[in-house]
Amino acid sequence: MPNQPFLQLATTRRSVRRYQQRPVPRQVLERCLEAARLAPSAMNAQPCSYILVDDPVLRDAVARFTFNAIVSFNRWTLSAPAFLVVLNRSSSLARVGATLQGRSWQQVDTGLAAAHFCLQAAEEGLGTCILGWFGEQRIKRLLRIRREYRVALLVTVGYSAEEPCVKERKLLSAILRYNREGE
């Protein structure tokens, strides 16, 4: 559904855990990556870089590093036609800021970039799911990722094989306060 208003896009975008076995054209994925590239970041640090994994052998290996015999809830990743591997590398200024503030802006920046990618993917008619559970060191070895980079997130991406459904979300009145939390 190209060109839908943003709230409609936000309403229909959801995590997809079953994909059609049809490749996604690279130019479509590159538009999604362009949206991620344009995401805001603290002090314009732009800490993210990306590896798009669409080679079937590598894709299968990455998928297998998202679950194991004990933790099997991510087996569905085997159906994903592609993975976006989101890398980040913090600057010394970002590390100092995170220490002084007690929060990592790099994590916020990474989440914003992933959200931009996922929203553009939805605009393109694709499904996505952001993953935080994976074997980072195994993925780093497989994809020859340099030591100074962290694998921050994985995002599965492809054409959904699931029927659209309504997302359950809290009502705005349940989560919004004006001016003070206690009023």
Higher pLDDT, 182 or 143: 143
Supply the pTM of this predicted model: 0.89
Instruction: Report pLDDT for 105.
Output: 83
**Is 170 domain-assigned?**
yes
Q: Judge whether 23 lies within some domain.
A: yes
Rounded to whole angstroms, the Cα distance separating 119 from 45 reads: 22
Number of domain units in the chain: 1
Q: 41: domain range?
A: 6-175
The conformational region for residue 98 under phi > 0 = left, psi -120 to 50 = alpha, else beta, is alpha
CATH code where residue 139 lies: 3.40.109.10
Mean pLDDT in the chain?
91
